[in-house]
């Protein structure tokens, strides 16, 4: 009995001693942790372990549609073609190839399939956003909902630079997607790509955000005036996904899937989406004005790095955009920005690459004011600039059409060709107030070339006009060459920009 009592007391003492040591050790650890809190910081946030994508998928699939484009055989024919990354990525019918020389084809009025892509319903009354390259060249657009209902869509507006288009179908009470914030996306965050790859409807793939504000122009030979800021993900995207939705874990739209990086034309690990912040702004512009109101800062620049900083004796930073030149009558010149400055922020958002500054500029319109943070003589300064359009004006503009030229165009007959000894041309008819009259062109003038391109029909004139107006060149001018009715040659410069 005594032995048992002594054993109990020994065990009790050991337990007390162990508890005391535990408390002392814990207090010591806590004190040390407080002392070292500036050395190693740990987050109190518990990472989400939710990888159940069912809710996000269910919230999205009924908002994503299939888009089929149809065209007559003569519209589909493209003649000699040049390499286009979108066609390489998504297959025939998805590119932006234009003929180097139009060749005549037999007229066939029967519509034939041209391409297949995806779109996203953004309002319950039938507005749909998709890629411009999905609908380009289509004479008829057929939209199929997830419940297999079909509608014919009309184009409200499109923008080649951002590769976005706004469509409308005559329907009500549709499932419309909720816009999320692409600005709040973080690298490593889960996202879903929803679309119709290879014609398989309502397909959902998952991945993470691999990078933001990604510039893929150099890697894909993308057009110089195109969007330069993409969300990069590793969600699988293939032919037919183009124009579909990229959504976050809540099923909110954070991007429109647009391109993949591939040497085969099929998915090879990376896909790219236009950020929802850009999509939202472009859609509003197309709906309200018919064209995108594009703001221009008016600088040429290159990303700053350690080598360039050393060369220019810049010690305050090694990141930012080194201003190589400032355009006349630009927002940057008005704000006092000079060659040699290093721009580090636009509206408090860090900019150290072309993708990042484009991401900020794509949200803005002419007339908007922005705060520019820059470094000059190794000191930080700020300035406010009022953004302008590519014509140096702050005004917003409605979309224009070839009708602004103020005349019609009549194809000339063989007798007139023989009389003037020419192979092609169109006659200016019905001349009224407009850009042609302002340039001095008279009724009956016969146009044979515009900007060194032969013209034989009104469509030729319209195609050249649209090409000029959609270009990034701020000098939007038609150089019109032709003959007066008496056979004398003449040339006119027609300014298209207001």
The set of catalytic residues is 133, 163, 242
If you search the block for the tokens 């490593």, which residue do you land on?
A: 188
The strand ranges marked E within 314-392 are: 321-326, 342-346, 349-350, 369-376, 379-386
Around Cβ 389, how many Cβ atoms within 10 Å?
21
Return all residues near 173 (Cβ < 8 A) that are at least 6 apart.
Answer: 124
Report the C-alpha gap between 352 and 287 in whole angstroms.
Answer: 32
Question: In this structure, what DSSP letter does residue 388 have?
Answer: B
State the first-to-last Cα distance of the chain, in angstroms, to the nearest integer. Answer: 110
Report the C-alpha gap between 282 and 179 in whole angstroms.
Answer: 14
Asked if 80 contacts 100 with a C-beta cutoff of 8 angstroms, the reply is: yes
Inter-residue long-range contacts of 143-146, CB under 8 Å, 24+ positions, other chains counted: 143/65, 143/66, 143/67, 143/119, 143/167, 143/169, 144/65, 144/66, 144/67, 144/68, 144/201, 145/62, 145/65, 145/174, 146/61, 146/62, 146/64, 146/65, 146/201, 146/202
Q: What are the angstrom distances between the C-alpha of 184 and each of 180, 187, 228?
A: 9, 10, 19
Q: What are the angstrom distances between the C-alpha of 77 and each of 52, 91, 111, 372, 396?
A: 46, 15, 13, 48, 37
User: What backbone torsions phi and psi does residue 392 show, to the nearest 5 degrees?
Assistant: 85, 15
């Amino acid at each position: 009995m005594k032995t048992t009592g002594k054993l109990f007391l020994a065990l009790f003492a050991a337990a007390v001693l162990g508890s005391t040591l535990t408390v002392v050790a814990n207090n010591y650890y806590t004190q040390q942790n407080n002392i070292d809190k500036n050395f190693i910081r740990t987050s109190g946030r518990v990472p989400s372990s939710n990888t159940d994508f069912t809710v996000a998928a269910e919230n999205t699939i009924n908002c994503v549609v299939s888009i089929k484009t149809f065209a007559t055989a003569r519209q589909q024919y493209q003649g000699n073609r040049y390499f286009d990354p979108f066609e390489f990525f998504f297959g025939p019918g998805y590119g932006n190839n234009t003929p180097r020389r139009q060749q005549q084809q037999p007229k066939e009025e029967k519509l034939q399939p041209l391409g297949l892509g995806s779109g996203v319903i953004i309002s319950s009354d039938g507005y749909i956003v998709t890629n411009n390259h999905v609908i380009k060249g289509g004479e008829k657009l057929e939209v199929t909902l997830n419940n297999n209902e079909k509608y014919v869509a009309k184009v409200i507006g499109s923008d080649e630079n951002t590769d976005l288009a706004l469509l409308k179908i005559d329907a009500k009470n549709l499932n419309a997607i909720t816009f999320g914030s692409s600005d709040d996306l973080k690298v490593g965050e889960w996202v879903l790509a929803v679309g119709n790859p290879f014609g398989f409807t309502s397909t959902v793939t998952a991945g993470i955000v691999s990078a933001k504000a990604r510039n893929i122009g150099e890697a894909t030979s993308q057009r110089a005036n195109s969007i330069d800021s993409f969300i990069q993900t590793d969600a699988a995207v293939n032919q037919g996904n183009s124009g579909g939705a990229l959504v976050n874990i809540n099923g909110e739209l954070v991007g429109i899937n647009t391109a993949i990086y591939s040497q085969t034309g099929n998915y090879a690990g990376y896909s790219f989406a236009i950020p929802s912040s850009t999509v939202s702004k472009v859609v509003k512009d197309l709906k309200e004005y018919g064209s995108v109101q594009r703001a221009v800062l008016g600088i040429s620049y290159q990303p700053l790095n350690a080598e360039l900083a050393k060369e220019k004796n810049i010690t305050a930073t090694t990141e930012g955009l080194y201003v190589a030149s400032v355009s006349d009558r630009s927002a940057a010149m008005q704000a006092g920005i000079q060659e040699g400055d290093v721009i580090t922020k636009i509206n408090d958002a860090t900019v150290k690459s072309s993708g990042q500054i484009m991401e900020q500029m794509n949200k803005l319109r002419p007339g908007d004011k922005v705060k520019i943070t820059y470094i000059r003589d190794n000191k930080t300064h700020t300035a406010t600039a009022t953004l302008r359009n590519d014509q140096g004006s702050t005004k917003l503009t409605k979309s224009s059409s070839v009708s602004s030229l103020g005349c019609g165009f009549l194809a000339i007959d063989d007798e007139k060709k023989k009389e003037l000894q020419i192979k092609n041309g169109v006659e200016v008819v019905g001349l009224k107030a407009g850009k042609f009259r302002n340039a001095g062109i008279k009724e009956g003038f016969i146009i044979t070339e515009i900007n060194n391109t032969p013209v034989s029909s009104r469509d030729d004139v319209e195609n050249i006009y649209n090409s000029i107006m959609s270009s990034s060149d701020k000098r939007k001018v038609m150089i019109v060459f032709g003959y007066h009715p008496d056979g004398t040659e003449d040339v006119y410069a027609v300014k298209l920009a207001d």
